[in-house]
């Protein structure tokens, strides 16, 4: 699958097919990302890794 840039703030993507998500865990933060069935990037988010969650 070719990497495709995420939608800009002015456009939205209607997800097609199954959504695949992944989480990359680190000591201080975690990063989650999602792609649709066509491999299009739906979003990425970074979260602080603390005992509170």
φ, ψ for residue 12 (rounded to 5)?
A: -125, 160
* Cα(36)–Cα(16) distance, integer angstroms: 6
| pLDDT confidence bin for 1, thresholds 50/70/90 | very low
* Cα(24)–Cα(37) distance, integer angstroms: 20
* Cα(21)–Cα(3) distance, integer angstroms: 15
Using the predicted structure, report yes or no on whether residue 21 has a pLDDT greater than 50: yes
* Cα(49)–Cα(29) distance, integer angstroms: 4
Over the stretch 27-48, which tens digit does the pLDDT of each residue have? 999 999 999 999 999 999 999 9
- The whole-model pTM stands at 0.69
Give the pLDDT confidence score for residue 4 in this predicted structure.
58
Tell me how far the alpha carbon of residue 14 is from its chain's centroid.
14
């Amino acid at each position: 699958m070719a990497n495709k840039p995420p939608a800009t703030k002015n456009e939205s993507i209607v997800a097609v097919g199954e959504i695949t998500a992944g989480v990359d865990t680190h000591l201080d933060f975690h990063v989650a990302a999602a792609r649709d069935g066509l491999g299009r990037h739906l979003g990425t988010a970074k979260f602080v890794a603390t005992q509170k969650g």
